[in-house]
Chains A and B, each alone.
Chain A
Amino acid sequence: MPQVTLTVNGKTHTVEVEGRTLLVELLREKLGLTGTHVGCDTSQCGACTVMMNGTSVKSCTTLALQADGASVMTIEGLAAADGTLHPMQEAFREHHALQCGFCTPGMVMSAVDLVQSHPQGLSEADIRHGLEGNLCRCTGYHNIVKAVAAAWPVMHGKQPVAAE
């Protein structure tokens, strides 16, 4: 059986997989990291979004073997070791940017990538366009957009999160 060696949330793993094993299956079933969700399984909904080598990817549309040598971050790797939430997680909590929460891990990972890749700023239109690869069946987009806008200054060191 082929082996894949990758770093997940800072920890290196070597795992036996099949050619057809998806990255999301490796994360959930081999490593027990079930925060990454499988929604549509057709690369549309974005619930499976993780960061791979610093950019967001759909882990249901990536083979585990394609991640050999990669550095992967999942939702479990965002908060600090002492449990302090990442600014994006904190913003989602403050702005009630989730209802059922199923899409939230992927939404947060996409949002983190979006904010990190836009140091010059993000308009509301940028946020809505930037999150088009993530679907929320509760249609809670409005508060998600608010949360991402609120997290931007915190992640770029401009000001703390302030709830209304």
Chain B
Amino acid sequence: MYDFAYEKPAALAAAVSSLASDMEAKALAGGQTFIPVLKQRLNKPSKVVDLAALGLSGITVTADTVTIGAMTTHGDVALSADVQKAIPALAHLASMIGDWQVRHRGTIGGSLANNDPTACYPTAVLALGATIVTDRREIKADDYFQGMFTTALEQDELITKVIFPIPQRAAYQKFKNPASRYAMVGVFVAKFASGVRVAITGAAQGGVFRHAAFEAALSANFAPDAIAGIVTPADDLNSDIHASAEYRAHLIGVMTKRAVAAA
């Protein structure tokens, strides 16, 4: 790992201005992806700004929404009785990320800022139509994800919290890569009065995406068989040593059916 300066500001404004003053500076949330990246020398920040002292963790549930602070760990979301009651699929998703040690450190804000194309949280944000709140604005999920490791965030912009609307029913199903535990394919299905949203991770070259054909079919009939016969094109899906694009295309249908059955 290359060395870097380290700061741990006590206020959000100070963290933002520290990042704004130095284009080579990087924010540190839980570090469960970022520290391995630094170890591999894939990134060389001049300065690391630790967000741990900004008071950005916590969970608030109202009648219609679940709000999760950016620095809330996966473990806290997984074990939250409030989240388990309001959106059990979200707690279940968090419980499937990494392992316990990783879940004790990794955060929702860090995961969303990184937008790994195989990460779990982007599916929940996109399928539930969540709002990402930053130090300066609110960003709708549909505008936030802009391709692999790319988001609507500015270089010095920090996520403060994520607001999830509570669906009628939802579920997340993940086909894990057995070594990395990342999703080979992960599917989040959410049913609202206004219709069904389906978000897929792990499969596409561009990262998380919504499956319009599945959404239309499931909005008409929320049952696993409703998507039978709908072919997912493999053109823009990943092929690697673990699975071909065609295999992933098939898995998307299988995992979506499982998610609908579990919701």
> A residues near B, CB below 8 A?
2, 18-20, 22, 41-44, 46, 49, 55-58, 61-63, 65-66, 68, 110, 113-114, 130, 132-134
CA distance A55 to B102 in the complex (A): 11
* Pairs across A and B, CB under 8 Å, 9 listed: A18-B3, A19-B3, A44-B179, A56-B104, A57-B105, A61-B32, A63-B48, A132-B181, A134-B99
With A20-B38, A42-B36: A62-B31 Cβ-Cβ less than 8 Å: yes
Of chain A, the residue at the smallest CB distance from B39 is: A41
Interface size class of B (residues with CB under 8 A): 20 to 34
A-B pairs with CB below 8 Å: how many?
73
Enumerate chain A residues within 8 angstroms of B105, measured Cβ to Cβ: 57-58, 61-62
Which of B4-12, B230-238, B243-251 makes up part of the contact surface?
B4-12
Enumerate chain B residues within 8 angstroms of A110, measured Cβ to Cβ: 100-101
Of chain B, the residue at the smallest CB distance from A64 is: B6
Enumerate chain A residues within 8 angstroms of B50, measured Cβ to Cβ: 63, 65-66
Shortest distance between the CB of B134 and any CB in chain A (Å): 23
Enumerate chain A residues within 8 angstroms of B28, measured Cβ to Cβ: 63, 66
With A19-B6, A57-B105: A62-B100 Cβ-Cβ less than 8 Å: no
Enumerate chain A residues within 8 angstroms of B181, measured Cβ to Cβ: 132
Q: Which of B1, B2, B3, B100 contacts A133 (CB 8 A)?
A: B100
At the interface, yes or no: B69 with Cβ under 8 Å from chain A?
no
Enumerate chain B residues within 8 angstroms of A66, measured Cβ to Cβ: 28, 31, 50, 52
Enumerate chain B residues within 8 angstroms of A62, measured Cβ to Cβ: 31, 35, 105
Assess whether B100 is in contact with A20, with CB atoms less than 8 Å apart: no
With A41-B39, A55-B75, A66-B31: A46-B101 Cβ-Cβ less than 8 Å: yes
At the interface, yes or no: B147 with Cβ under 8 Å from chain A?
no
Q: Which of B6, B8, B36 contacts A43 (CB 8 A)?
A: B36
Interface string of B1-27 (1 = CB under 8 A from A): 111111010000000000000000000
CA distance A113 to B101 in the complex (A): 10
Report B164-215 residues with CB < 8 Å from chain A CB: 179, 181
